Amino acid sequence: MFSLNRTIIISLLCLLACSCNPSDDERVEITKTRELGRFAPKPILGLNFKERVGLQEAKQDNSQTSSVAFFVKLIGPKDTVDSEIENFNLFCNSIKIGEGNPPFAWVKPESWKDEKQSSMRVANFSFGPNSLGECYFTVLPGGGGGLLANVNRWRKQMSLNDLDLSEVNDLPDRQFLLGVGKFLELEGSFKSVGSTDIREGYKMIGIILPELQITGGK
C-alpha cells in the first residue's frame, strides 16, 4: 500500500513539473532595465527625542530648520466633555518643555486616569463614567500634514464636512506651549480612525499647533 501511494505521488509531481515548464513559444525575453530608486536618505542615528522632533538642535555641521506639530484633544460623550472643560484648560496650560524622554512636563487633573503612552500619545488619559472620555497630547515631527488637513481630519472623525482654508483661518486662536494654535469645538457622531463603530452624541475639543518652525545653528 505504501509503495503504491509513493508511486502515485511521484507521478503527480512529474506531471506538475512538466506543466509548469513553459514551452519555447511561451518564453518572454526581458530586455528593459531600470535603475533602483532611492527610498529615503541615510538616517541620522543617535538622536534623542528633542532632536528628532526639532526641539533641540542636532549636532551637525550645517544649520537646519525643521517643523514640529503639537496636538491636544479631548473627546467623549457631550455631557462628559462639557464637565471637563476646566480640567482640559488646566492640563493644556500646564504643559511645558522639560527634561527626560519625552521632554515634557504637565499637571494631570486629579480625576483623570493615566493610560498607556505610545509614539502618538505623549500623554494619554481617560475620565468620566466608564472611562468613555479621553484626552491625549501628541507631538509629530515634520509638521504633521498642516493645519487644513488636520482640522478636516478631526471633522471627519465627527462626521462633519470639510472646511476650506479661509474658514480654518477664522477659527479662534489659542496660546499653547511654544506658539499660537487653532482651537476646535466639534459635536457630532464620532468614529475613530480605523474603526467602524459610530458613537452618537459626542463632542471633541482640541488645539492644533502645526508646522512650528524650529531653527538650529552650528
Q: What residues does each domain of the chain span? A: 49-58+63-216
- Whether the per-residue pLDDT at 183 is higher than 90: the answer is yes
As a whole number of angstroms, the distance between CA 20 and CA 24 comes to 13
Residue pLDDT, tens place only, 45-81 = 555 655 655 555 555 545 455 678 899 999 999 999 9
Backbone region of residue 205 per phi and psi (left: phi > 0; alpha: psi in -120 to 50; beta: other values) = beta
Task: List, in sequence order, every residue forming a beta bridge with 186; answer none if it has no partner.
Answer: 204
As a whole number of angstroms, the distance between CA 206 and CA 127 comes to 16
| Cβ proximity of 159 and 189 under 8 Å | yes
| Cβ proximity of 102 and 68 under 8 Å | no
**Range name among 172-176, 199-203, 212-216 with the lowest pLDDT average:** 212-216
Extract the C-alpha cell encoding 195.
474603526
